[in-house]
Structure 1
Amino acid sequence: MSAAIPRLAGLSRAVPDPDAASGVPVWSVGDVGTHLAAVYLAYTSLVPPDGTTERDGVPPSGEGTFAERITAMNARSVTLFDRAERAKTADFVAERGETFLRATEGLPPDTPVSAPWYGEVPFTLATVTGLMLSETLVHGLDVARGARLPWPIGQDEARLVLGQSMPTMMTAALDPVEARGVSIAFDLAIKGGPRLAVVFGDGTVTVTRDAPPRAYDCRIVADPVTFLLVSFRRTPIWKAVASGRMRAGGRRPWLATRLGRLVAAP
């Protein structure tokens, strides 16, 4: 995070036209920047002792399904800053990012953190930091695509996101309707780590890092950046497979495409 925060602020300051279309179909580049500012505000609100924020509605309540909560948060995020404030979101992100780093410095990675808009799944500081990094990397790419600016994502950055936040987020984002009656065990092997056992059964999912050996239905091997972008719907899975950066094997390799449907993606 310490390297990604100033990089994001620098990208935001370099945007020539905030009204240009971004990598998110319904948002302009300025909308994405505003969303990021709201995200940094929300995550920073989780770490002070009193958990307060200066603006109403962030974080949102924990009511509704996972997809409904995240959709509501996303919609709310782009309305929090007026046009004059939008021009300063790069400075806001830089300041809030540093606040988050200072507030969490020295805390154990397994420190419990309450993030109500994600539901009742227990979160830790490592999870929240990984999520903050994922927002930075993925939405930084959205801004860069709209502004036609470079935005490389490092392999180690992607591995941190996948290792720290993916196990918890897969559990929080489980689609209970899609998962009803499903029994599938995935061996998800990210090149260079992490390795996750993702096991669906009777409407539930367990995600375990470095699990002991067991039988799997499908093994997915993927480049870390590629899997990050496929997970966030920034790269189509067919393109990842065609490029050789993601492949499936095991007894039932065709099940690989089911993984993305078993977790919600608002």
Structure 2
Amino acid sequence: MAAATITERQWRAARDALAGATDRFIRLVEAVDRPETMVTAHWSVADTLVHVVSVAWLYAVKLDPAHQPLPIPGLGTRLATVTVDTIADLNDVVLAHLTEREPGPLLARLRADVDTILAATTDSRPGEQLDWFGGARAPLAGLFAHLVNELLVHGWDIAPAARSPWEIPAREAVLFFELFLVGLIRAGYGRLLDSDEPPRERPITVEFRSAYCADVTLTLHRGRVRVAAPGARPDVRVRFDPAALNLMMFGRVGRARTVLRGRVVAWGRRPWLLPPFLRVLRTPS
């Protein structure tokens, strides 16, 4: 499937969002008194920071071949075979090998790696396709969007420990859907979304609308999600606030709460088909 053109405006937005979200995330973590404070069921502030650092480090290596690789044996093989449902196991391996837990050195590495990512891509094409996890491919701008989302979602995790407010700007949050998720679907997501969900013979077509990006219609057919053909009639229409959708998809807020607050609204001919669609098009939570 041909990749959609990524505009100069979108590319500039992704670069600005990465620089801005990194600055805010670093200030947030610096405000934490006790980095050992648990902020999710399994991770402390320090663990969460290591995870974010590992993603930025990985992208710095991908975009600058001279960059120091992560000290994790067999990482390339693990990345090639991971799925949405096994990425938690990979995260455990990464956290076991990256043993630093002092915020100072970790934040310095995060800053340096983001600077490397920005500098290495000054003259790059934002639609350039790069290998990602699980045999997937994603546009360069999509990798920026993914890292921005890591900063935004995990900043949301850390904010209570910092006793600081944490904003997830809609124009930054929408990049995950617009540039990363749709970009991944267009480029081919490999085995990333493999699951035990029985393939459906009848297609499910869902139109996504937001005030912050162009409408996108996706179709699930025989276990694969694709961008729908022009003029496809949706079974479900979804209007979403980008920050709410991301927090919901990553399990930070419940679906019922999000829907009741009107942040994600579904309607159409067959709205009951949205749950099976989202059991395939899913993210780690």
Q: Structure 2: which amino acid aligns with 1:195? A: D
Q: 1:80 to 1:86 in 2, by over 3 A?
A: farther
Aligned equivalents of 2:198, 2:213: Cα separation in 1: 26
Partner of 2:160: 145
Change (3 A) 1:152 1:179: farther
Counterparts of 2:28 and 2:114, CA distance in 1:
15
Structure 1 residue 82, shift from structure 2 partner = 2.8
Q: Equivalents in 2 of 1:195, 1:108: separation in Å?
A: 24
Q: Which residue of 2 aligns with 1:180?
A: 199
**Residues 51/212 of structure 1: CA separation in 2 closer, same or farther (3 Å cut):** farther
Correspondent of 2:261 among 213, 225, 243 = 243
What residue number does 2:97 align with? 80
- 1:66 offset after TM fit, Å? 0.8
Contact map agreement 1:130 1:160 (CA 8 A) in 2 = yes
Match of 1:199 in 2: 219
Which amino acid counterpart does residue 213 of structure 1 have in structure 2? G
- Which residue of the other structure, out of 35, 43, 63, is the alignment partner of 1:18? 35
1:54-65 map, 5 Å? 54-57=70-73, 59-61=75-77, 62-65=79-82
Give the AA of the match of 1:177. D
| Paired residues, number | 261
Distance 2:198 2:282 in 1: 11
Identity, % of aligned positions: 26
CA contact (8 A) 2:220 2:226 kept: yes
Please identify, of 154-163 and 176-185, the stretch whose mean Cα deviation from structure 2 is larger: 176-185
Q: Deviations 1:74-128 (Å, cap 9, x if unpaired)?
A: 112322333465542111111111111111112110122222xx12222221121
Give distance in 2, aligned partners of 1:84 and 1:233: 25
Letter in 1 for 2:221: G
Q: CA offsets per residue over residues 10-29 of structure 1, 9 Å max, x none?
A: 1111111111111x211111
Native 8 Å contact 2:220 2:277 kept in 1: no
2:19 counterpart SS class: coil
In the TM superposition, what is the alpha-carbon distance from 1:215 to its structure 2 partner?
A: 0.8
Q: TM-score, normalised by structure 2?
A: 0.83
Matches of residues 44-55 of structure 1 in structure 2 within 5 Å?
Answer: 44-49=60-65, 53-55=69-71
The amino acid that maps onto 1:35 is H
Structure 2 unaligned blocks of 5 or more:
1-17
Q: By how many angstroms is 1:169 displaced? A: 4.5
Change (3 A) 1:257 1:264: closer
The answer as to 2:129 corresponding to 1:112 is: yes
- Aligned CA-pair RMSD: 2.3
CA distance in 2, matches of 1:192, 1:174: 26
3-state SS of paired residue (2:216): strand
- Contact conserved, 1:40 with 1:97, CA < 8 A, in 2? yes
Matched, 1:213 2:253: no
User: What are the ranges of 5 or more consecutive residues in structure 1 without an aligned counterpart?
Assistant: none
Residues 163/58 of structure 1: CA separation in 2 closer, same or farther (3 Å cut): farther
Question: 2 CA distance for matches of 1:19 and 1:104?
Answer: 35
Residue 228 (str. 1) matches residue 246 (str. 2): yes
SS of residue paired to 1:2:
helix
Residue 204 of structure 1 and its aligned partner are, at CA, apart by 1.2
Name the aligned partner's letter for residue 63 of structure 2: V
**Is the partner of 2:272 in helix, strand or coil?**
helix
Q: Is the 8 A contact 2:72 2:94 kept in 1?
A: no
Q: Which amino acid aligns with 2:99?
A: D
Which residue of 233, 253, 256 corresponds with 2:271? 253
Question: 1:20 & 1:105 partners in 2: Cα distance?
Answer: 38
| Counterpart-to-counterpart distance in 1, 2:81 and 2:256 | 32
Matched, 1:96 2:113: yes
TM-score, with normalisation over the residues of structure 1?
Answer: 0.88
User: 1:178 Cα deviation (Å)?
Assistant: 1.4
Cα distance in 1 for partners of 2:102, 2:217 equals: 44
CA shift for structure 1 position 33: 0.7
State the one-letter code of the partner of 1:159.
Answer: V
The SS at the match of 1:230 is: helix
